[in-house]
A and B are shown apart, each in its own frame.
Chain A
Amino acid sequence: MTIVEDRPETAEAPPPRRANPVWGLLRNSWRQLTSMRTALILLFLLAVAAIPGSIFPQTAVNRERVSQYYTAHPQLAPWVDRFGGFEVYASPWFAAIYLLLFTSLVGCVLPRLRDHLRALRTVPPDAPKRLDRLPQHAPARTRPETPAAAAESLARLLRRRMFRTRVRELPDGGFSVAAEKGYLKETGNLLFHFAMLAVLVGVGFGHWYGWHGNRILVAGEDQGFCNAITQYDDSALGPWVTAADLPKFCIRMTDFQASYQSTGQPRSYLATVQVKEGSGAYRGSSFTVNDPLRLHHANVHLIGHGYALELRYTDRYGVTQNRVVPFLPTDGMQTSEGVAQFPDVNIDPKTNQRDDSLQVGFEGVYLPTGGTDGSAVSQFPAENNPVLYLTAYRGNLGLDVGKAASVYALNRGQINNGELKKISGERPQPLRPGGTWTLDDGSKLEFVGTREYATLAIRYDPTQALMLVGAALGLAGLMLSLFGHRRRIWFRVSPANDREAGGSVVEAGGLPRTDYPGFAAEFAALTGPATDDGHAEEGTP
């Protein structure tokens, strides 16, 4: 990735007498890998390889949608999976590309760093013989001072303009002033590339040592939770994190406020919580969508909300059970779906035996604002006219099979094979908060009310700050390298021909080492006053 344009060709080393073919192959491969051409190709490959990640759903982004894809394309999905299409950014081929790219980068910037460090320590080279062959040239002009004084004042002028300057005495009694400026361009360029490396390493460490979990937190003191891996609906620990490493804190939500526009678009969410860290006491706090709750080694982000339904079932023996079940919103108006399952009911008090065929489950659709036309779609996300439509099932819920099952849907297999039977009529039973529904066997379901819940994403990424520093340094380096210009300027100060009268003759030349359209103007500004007959302008800044 060498982008220094004017690096002198290194002299070809004489070919070794007996070339080791393995060594030669290795060396050639390395040269090939670190060439700009390869780097450009790898950059393109990286761009192309990123595309599938926006086309196919990604497991890391949205697991639900991957399952939907499997349902929609049962033939194609396994093949997509085989090529890592659902985990593009963790796939071996994606890693191969960026690792090769970064190897190429290292192979390029390390020698450049060495060269640049050397360049920083070397003095600007002496003036070429023919200054008039340089892209910028100011023809010889006379000055009244002695050559030594003229060279000294020129050097001072250049130094004041931050040029690195070296004055050399010439055999003919004259002086040459060599000056160079713009080392920051290459410094910035290297800084940018090393910052990219730091960011890559940061991503790696963040992945290894970070963790995250998602959870629904229902309002109410009884619904709080303490940080533990089992408390999450869905979680991922970095490879080098164990469940015991998770920081200790407990959260319970005391209040949740949502406000909406008249169109139903949410305007703001505010979660008020009590939080306890380590062995401390509970303290009050609140957070909103763009302002997470920042704890020690964990950040709690509010990413959504919905309604949890509080239901009370009284079985045929008069035993009651309460459930608070979160319903998942299916649209922007908070039409929500969910289930309430009661496996341990209808236990005959005489035998104390559970009859699996008497388990009860309810499937429901909750509308915070039901319409007047009876359609099963909410009209508004706030609870203006709440109504719950329930369908009741009795039979084996199939919860004891030991298979992980969704807590938001009944087991379809049990319904299909007749183990779980619908016991309500064709149309779902509407219920208002406080309403009670008596089932065919005399048991009752009461819709006690609703509570708001917040969807939380809880995360920790130890390298986040490092990444920000890396990115900021990278940007600074990028700007230096894009807007900096390396250039050299030489003055040759010779004694005037007429030795008696004194004075000196000054000739100047300039060489922009990178593409720099403003160089002519700068050169003119420098040489104009400096070699003018009137002299001495350099004294007045």
Chain B
Amino acid sequence: MAELSNQLMALTVLAYLAAMVCYAGEYAFGKRSRIGKAAARPARQLVGAGAPADAEVPDDVPVQPVSPPKPGRGEWSGRIAAVLNVLALVLHLGTLATRGIAADRMPWGNMYEYILSATFVGSAVWVGVLLRRPALRHLGLFSSLALVVLLGAAALVAYTPVGPLVPALHSYWFIVHVSTVIISSGIFLIGAVPALMFVIKNGYDEGRRSFPYTLGKRVPTPAAVLERLTFRLHAFAFPLFTFGALIAGPLWAEASWGRYWGWDPKEVWAFISWIVYAAYLHARATPSVKRTVATWIALFGFVTMLMNLFGVNLFFEGLHSYANAGD
């Protein structure tokens, strides 16, 4: 079963890679097509009488092609990519399930399994977004890129053979704490994709033509839609992260180590991530702070999450050293 899990893992990465290539195909061949034009159509202008100054883009109004499109090369490539993406998600689930069966427990016991689970959540949220709003499909290039990189890192840096848990992890808090942290991390991960795209697209719209911003040329979704998606993903993940890392974590720590908070490196970095994401929510809720600035803060928050995942597991020694990376 463990062997099967490893093979499925390889297939999963390949499937994401194939999806990424097809997304890239859409990105390269798809002209600023009907989708793009439809999406770029100015949002319904709101007549303001004391309304918020920045015109809201009602995101419930689906951005859809105006006329039934006759799919071109880019369109086909994008459709295949979406199918491959869903296939990859199924394989990903298979990898996790077989891993869990092999270990006879929830597959969250070390860094390898953690990354596998968090990326699965991220991928599932992305597919959910994709199904609800097909017009955002082009973001798949970047989400699958992030998934391939993280899964590759998991396989290369953090691979650990299947094994049972150390006694400290024998607790129902294992399920509560780790699952909520994994889910929120996965959503933060996928939230970073529209955040990055917003920064690029917005920069392009503002007339910047240097390298990263040139990518914005082919992004059909209006910047405001990307920004809203960023906020909604983060606003959803933040309370979950608060619960998982700052309530369930300390509760378990109290039972297991005798103190609810002890500035273990993992705790320090969870604290830092929480502070940074809190700053993002504050910045976004403040009209005087530009949305670009707020989104940069969210991206910075994601960097701290990555630091917590890789940096803390690999460089620092602490009580959360279940990673077994490199053993």
B61 CB to closest chain A CB (Å) equals: 9
A475 pairs with B239, CB closer than 8 A = yes
A520 to B281, CA, bound (A): 24
B173 lies within 8 A of A89 (CB): no
Within 129-145 of A, Cβ neighbours of B (below 8 Å) are at 130, 132-135, 137
Known: A471-B247, A475-B243. A43 touches B279 (CB 8 A): yes
| A268 / chain B contacts, CB cutoff of 8 Å | 167, 170
- Chain B nearest CB, measured from A349 CB (Å): 49
Q: A60-B263, A265-B164 are in contact. Are A520 and B60 (CB under 8 A)?
A: yes
Contacting A at CB under 8 A, from B253-284, are 254-260, 262-265, 268-269, 271-272, 275-276, 278-279, 281-283
Chain A interface main SS type: mixed
Q: Are B166 and A266 in contact (CB under 8 A)?
A: yes
In the assembled complex, A40 has its CB within 8 A of some CB on chain B: yes
- Decide: A517 and B49 in contact? CB cutoff 8 A: no
Given A128-B49, A482-B281: A292 and B258 interface contact (C-beta under 8 Å): yes
Q: Given B60, B262, B264, B281, which contacts A518 in the complex, CB threshold below 8 Å? A: B60
Interchain CB contact (< 8 A) of A479 among B239, B260, B288: B239
B24 to chain A, nearest CB (A): 31
For residue B111, CB closer than 8 A to chain A, the reply is no
Closest Cβ–Cβ distance, residue A4 to chain B (whole Å):
9
Bits for A463-489, please: 1 = Cβ < 8 Å to B, else 0: 010011001101100110011000000
Contacts of A130 in B (CB 8 A): 49
Chain A residues 186 to 206 lying within 8 A of chain B, measured CB to CB, are none
CB atoms of A290 and B283 under 8 A apart = no
A290 touches B173 (CB 8 A): yes
User: Which one of B164, B264, B272, B278 contacts A261 once the chains associate, using CB atoms below 8 Å?
Assistant: B164
Question: B256–A290 contact, CB under 8 A?
Answer: yes
Q: Report Cα–Cα, A60/B279, bound state, in Å.
A: 28
A478 and B259 within 8 A (CB): no
Complex contacts, B312 vs chain A, CB 8 Å: 54
Closest to B173 in A: A290
B279 x A40 contact (CB < 8 A): yes
A530 within 8 A of B: no
**Interfacial residues of chain A within 35-51, with CB under 8 A of chain B in the complex:** 36-37, 39-40, 43-44, 46-47, 50-51
Residue pair A61, B60 in contact (C-beta under 8 Å): no
Range, interface on chain B: 35 or more
Residue in B closest to A292 when the chains form the complex, CB atoms: B255
Counting CB contacts under 8 A, is A379 at the interface?
Answer: no
- Interface positions, chain A 498-523, Cβ under 8 Å from B, are 511-512, 515, 517-518, 520-521
In whole angstroms, how far apart are the Cα atoms of A171 and B251 in the complex?
A: 62
Taking the nearest CB of chain A, how far is it from the CB of B277, in angstroms? 10
B49, A50: Cβ atoms closer than 8 Å: no
Compute how far the CA of A435 lies from the CA of B60 in the bound complex, rounded to whole angstroms.
Answer: 81
Which one, A128, A303, A515, contacts B56 given CB within 8 A?
A515
- Cβ of B163 under 8 Å from chain A: yes
Residues B258 and A212 in contact, CB atoms below 8 Å apart? yes
Give the docked Cα–Cα distance between A459 and B254 (Å): 10
Residue in chain B with minimal CB distance to A131: B49
Asked if A6 and B256 make an inter-chain contact with CB atoms under 8 angstroms apart, the answer reads no
Assess the A47–B275 pair: CB atoms within 8 A: yes
- Select B264's contact among A40, A61, A461, A471, beta carbons within 8 Å: A61
Residues 51-62 of B, flagged 1 when their CB comes within 8 A of A and 0 if not, give 110001011100
CB distance from B279 to the nearest CB of A (A): 4
Q: How far is the CB of B60 from chain A (nearest CB, A)?
A: 6
- Choose from A50, A290, A471 the contact partner of B168 (Cβ within 8 Å): A290
Question: Closest B-chain residue to A467, C-beta based?
Answer: B260
Could you tell me the distance between the alpha carbons of A290 and B177 in the complex, rounded to whole angstroms?
14
B263 contacts A58, C-beta separation under 8 Å: yes
* Distance in Å: Cβ of A346 to nearest Cβ of chain B: 43
Q: Say if the beta carbon of B31 comes within 8 Å of chain A.
A: no
Is A532 located at the chain interface by the 8 A CB criterion?
Answer: no
Residue pair A51, B166 in contact (C-beta under 8 Å): no
- CB-based nearest A residue for B254: A464
A1 interface residue, CB < 8 Å from B? yes
Given contacts A60-B263, A266-B167, contact A457 B272 (CB under 8 A): no
Does B287 have its Cβ within 8 Å of any Cβ on chain A?
yes
Known: A135-B56, A290-B170, A290-B255. 8 other contacts (CB 8 A): A46-B275, A50-B268, A212-B258, A289-B168, A289-B256, A471-B246, A517-B58, A517-B60
Q: Could you list which residues of chain B lie within 8 angstroms of chain A, going by C-beta atoms?
A: 46-52, 56, 58-60, 163-164, 166-168, 170-171, 173, 228, 235, 238-239, 242-243, 246-247, 250-252, 254-260, 262-265, 268-269, 271-272, 275-276, 278-279, 281-283, 285-289, 304, 312, 316
Q: 11 A-B pairs, CB-CB below 8 angstroms?
A: A2-B286, A40-B279, A40-B289, A43-B282, A133-B47, A471-B250, A478-B239, A511-B51, A512-B52, A517-B60, A521-B60
By Cβ-Cβ distance, the 5 closest A-B pairs, closest first, are A133-B49, A301-B258, A3-B285, A290-B171, A54-B265
